[in-house]
Structures are given as structure tokens and as C-alpha cells.
Amino acid sequence: MKNHPIAIFDIDGVLANGAHRKYILTPLSFGKIQRGSIENISLFNAYVLAAEKDSIFEDEADLLRMTHNQGLDIILITARPEWSRLMTTHWLARHWVPYTEMYMRESECQWSDVDVKIDIYNKHLRGNGRRIMFAVEDRIQCVKMWRKLGITCLQPRDGDY
Ligand SMILES: [Mg+2]
């Protein structure tokens, strides 16, 4: 994978359609559960586990496959926790998503997705001389983060949450 340009893809909201599991997080949005509490962590874990049943966004998956076919390395960067790697790997295989590398949140890490992704970028991509052609993200905070780093970022749908 040494000298090929890179395309970065987010998973949730870009490749994986998790609309069916959003209800799991509803108690959090009412502010009844504290961030970092056991209830919060349990709900989050349930939310991640339910991703196994996500459908795929076909247009974005086709964009990824075409990009891959053109010889770019596909780097998946997701705030899903590391403990869900096996499940996520199976999901990606089931939906014919080719990729070179997948970086995930460390399992116990409670950082925001933006902080998780900047950390991954700093550890694995920054200053390695590889051209990053574009990133694909749904959530506006992450879109802004990539653009701030000087990376072209495509946003396939509104993600103002
Ligand atoms: Mg996302």
C-alpha cells in the first residue's frame, strides 16, 4: 500500500445506514442519562451491536469500489470501538466493501468522534508523504475537521447532529 493515494471513508452514516437503531440512543437525547455512566455505556454498546443489521448506502459503496478500482488505498476511519472490529469486518465483507486498513476507537475511549479521528490521523497518516485525495463524512463536525486539516471532504447527506 506504499505509494498509492488514499481515500478516507467513514462508516456510520456514509456506508452503513443505522436509521433502524437510532431509537436506542433516545434516552440520551433527553438528557436523562449522564455521559460516561453505566447506563450511557450500555446503551452505546447496544447501539453499536445493532449495527450488524444495518443496510448499506449503495451509492457511497459504489463510489468506494470505483475509487478502489482506480488504485487508491481505502482507509476506513470510524469512531466505532475496537471491540466491534470482528462484527464490522464481517459486515463489510458481506456487503462487498474492499479496503486497505480500518482504524477504530480504542475500546474504553470516551472521546468525541472528532477527537478520535484526529488522533488516528496524527498517529497513522500525518506527515507520511502519502497524498490524501479526499475523505467522505456525514457528520458536519467531522467534515469541518477534515477540511481544517486541508483535506477535501465530501458529505453525501446532512449530518447536523
Ligand atoms: Mg458518520
Expressed in angstroms and rounded, the spacing between residue 104 Cα and the centre of ligand 1 is 12
- The DSSP secondary structure of 6-59, one letter per residue, reads EEEE-SBTTTEE-GGGGGGGHHHHTT-S-TTSHHHHHHHHHHHHGGGG-EE-HH
Looking at residue 89, the DSSP 8-state letter turns out to be H
CA 70 to chain centre: 22
- CATH fold label, 6-18+54-154: Rossmann fold (3.40.50)
Expressed in angstroms and rounded, the spacing between residue 10 Cα and the centre of ligand 1 is 6
Please state the domain extents for the chain: 6-18+54-154
pLDDT tens-digit profile of 128-151? 889 999 999 999 999 999 999 999
pLDDT tens-digit profile of 70-121? 999 999 999 999 999 999 999 999 999 999 999 999 998 889 999 999 999 9
Expressed in angstroms and rounded, the spacing between residue 22 Cα and the centre of ligand 1 is 13
What's the whole-model pTM score? 0.93
Expressed in angstroms and rounded, the spacing between residue 145 Cα and the centre of ligand 1 is 13
